[in-house]
Chains A and B, each alone.
Chain A
Amino acid sequence: MIRATLVLVRHSLTRVRVVAIAMAAVLVGFQFLLTQVAVVLDRNQAFGPLATMLPDFMREMAGPSMLAFMSFSGIVALGFFHPIVLSSLLGLAIAIGTEPAGEVETRFDDLTLTRPVPRAAVIARTVVVMAIVVGGILTLMALGSWTGLTCCTPATVQRPSIGLLRSLALGLGAIVWCWGGLALAAASAVRRRAVAAGLTGIAALVAYLVDYLGRVWDPLSHVSPLSPFHYFEPMTLITGAPLNLTHLGILFGTGLAGAIAAHVIFGRRDL
């Protein structure tokens, strides 16, 4: 089982390497640039004026986190929760998570699973590849921020701590893993990769909107906890709150539940 899983992991990493390396390069560069943007804003003392430029209703809606965001740390941390970064990583996790469906669709399974390869190895492979790729990219993103902060930032500015960067990366990793696990569960039950990816993508979009509406509109606030995005709270981390381990556990647990469901469904289905 372990040997087969490792062979499949190597194969999948080879296939995904170009996309993963390209995405890592872009995101690391983005993280580095954000530190330099923060340096420029700080040098021009622009954080205060920027915050005052926002309309009152927006400041009230966002609360103290908006002020925290309009700070050196907030700008540096932006890369860990910007919607484009978030959707890119979710897309990558969904692409990796739906590989089992892709292999059924292309009939690659007819070549691999007719050899002494347990079906569990296919699911385990996907989990390992997701962990390596997403974990690697997040680590490199944090490294990009750290490099920018240590090499090209004046000593006078109040830099975000390594702990904050770690917490932000962990939170982002948790939400990405959560959707990756759900994508894996969908992929284990269908025959077409596009169906699994489409279902998971639409579910993620709906969940994001539900959480957003729940945050800004009271009548929907009670449904917001149904969305995994409810438990992804980078802005509270920027305000100095500690990482909420319960929320982190909910996200990792949801992803794990998806992976376990995938293991059970894929092990029992006809291919």
Chain B
Amino acid sequence: MAPAIHLEHIGKRYGRLTALRDVSLDVDTGEIFGFLGLNGAGKTTTIRILLDLVRPTTGRATVFGADCQARSLDVRARVGYLPGEPGFYGDMTGEATLDLLGRLGGSRVDPAWRRELVDRLELAASDLRRRIREYSTGMKRKLGIVQAFQADPPLLVLDEPTEGLDPLMQEVFYELVAEMRRRGRTIFMSSHVLPEVERVCDRIGLLRDGELVLLATVQEVRGLAGRRIRVSFHADVAAPPSFPPDCEVIGVQPRLWDLRVRGTMAPIVALVTGLPVADLDVQMPHLEEILRTYYAVERSS
């Protein structure tokens, strides 16, 4: 079966500026993929290539096996898109906007499903009858989510989906994404909110200066940093002459070892067995800590 998204050596130049350089990746059907990078890294350009709003200089992109340029209409019929800044007309009501975009979609909008989305995102019927110029940022974002999800497409492309949502609505959105996963939908989302990506996504791709520098599962990325282990003792303990190879020593004191372990914990467990261990604290690394190092490289370069 063709992957939901296939990017093959995608490059995009604007005059002398190279926005994307040789980006290749696959996103499987049913996967939730997080697309990360600093502003200007090329995330939105990649998304716009998928939707045929921008044409690549090199390479090709497919969605469910269909070429994004040659069979653009077929592709777009199967995609729901939430732009980073939805260009709603302020003088239209929310309801009229949803109706218009529903009529332009590839498949019929189920009114019951749309009502459910509206209810879950707490958009009242009276809100939908108001002009969008009266909406808050969060309400516009909710309307954007409804218009992207309302046709229940097999692929959702979401650009910064929770930007402007309050924490309660973010939770509602995460539940919605989880439901989409259960229903076998594929989600390709760009985000700056790393805890959100860590919580929601199966895999991530990191763009830096137009290049894909990291493509891995969230678990694999966590493994890159290793777990931090703090072993405290009842009594003074002499440090061994050497620690296991996958173990980085952060600090060693007579009653406290501070270590970072990449890979299995077994060698450390074996090392402390028989010692007067008072406590063993294992901290899982956060995506944010790991990716910050990637971002730092970009900033310095």
Contact = CB atoms under 8 A, between A and B. Distances in A.
Contact of B89 (A7, A106, A117, A270): A106
A107 B85 contact: yes
A110 B55 contact: no
A7 B106 CA distance: 13
A111 interface: yes
Contact of A115 (B55, B76, B86, B91): B76
A112 interface: yes
A4 interface: yes
B87 A271 contact: no
The interface centre, meaning the residue of B51, B87, B103 with most chain A CB atoms within 10 A of its CB, is B87
Contacts, number: 68
A117 B86 contact: no
Contacts of B77: 115-116
Contacts of A4: 104
Nearest to A104: B87
B25 to A, nearest CB: 20
B100 interface: yes
Interface in A93-146: 103, 106-118
B104 A117 contact: yes
B86 A114 contact: no
Nearest to B50: A114
A266 to B, nearest CB: 12
Contacts of B265: none
Given A107-B83, A108-B87, A114-B81, A270 B54 contact: yes
B53 A115 contact: no
B101 A111 contact: yes
The interface centre, meaning the residue of A106, A107, A115 with most chain B CB atoms within 10 A of its CB, is A115
A8 B101 CA distance: 10
Nearest to A110: B83
Contacts of B147: 111
A11 interface: yes
B81 A116 contact: no
Interface residues of B, number: 26
Interface string B27-70: 00000000000000000000010011111000000000000000
B61 to A, nearest CB: 14
Contact of A110 (B73, B86, B91): B86
Interface in B163-197: none
Contacts of B52: 113
B interface majority secondary structure: loop
Nearest to A107: B87
Contacts of B105: 115-116
Given A106-B87, A111-B83, A271 B101 contact: no
Given A116-B105, A270-B53, A111 B73 contact: no
A7 B100 contact: yes
Interface in B79-116: 79, 81, 83, 85-89, 91, 100-101, 103-106
Nearest to B151: A115
B141 to A, nearest CB: 14
A113 B87 CA distance: 12
A114 B85 contact: no
B53 A271 contact: yes
Contact of B51 (A7, A8, A114, A118): A114
Nearest to A112: B104
Contact of B55 (A8, A109, A114, A270): A270
B54 A115 contact: no
A116 B106 contact: yes
B23 to A, nearest CB: 17
Contacts of B54: 270-271
A111 B83 CA distance: 8
A270 B48 CA distance: 9
Contacts of A118: 73
Given A11-B100, A106-B89, A107-B85, A114 B106 contact: no
A107 B86 contact: yes
A245 to B, nearest CB: 40
B85 to A, nearest CB: 6
A118 B89 CA distance: 21
Nearest to B74: A116
Contacts of A117: 76, 104
B154 to A, nearest CB: 14
A7 B104 CA distance: 7
Given A115-B105, A116-B106, A110 B76 contact: no
12 contacts: A107-B83, A107-B86, A107-B87, A108-B88, A108-B89, A109-B87, A110-B83, A114-B51, A114-B79, A115-B76, A116-B76, A117-B104
Interface of B: 48, 51-55, 73-74, 76-77, 79, 81, 83, 85-89, 91, 100-101, 103-106, 147
10 cross-chain pairs, A with B, having the tightest CB-CB distances, nearest first: A107-B87, A116-B77, A114-B81, A108-B87, A110-B83, A271-B53, A115-B104, A106-B87, A116-B73, A270-B54
Given A103-B87, A117-B76, 13 more contacts: A15-B89, A106-B87, A110-B81, A110-B83, A111-B81, A111-B147, A114-B81, A115-B76, A115-B77, A115-B101, A270-B53, A271-B48, A271-B54
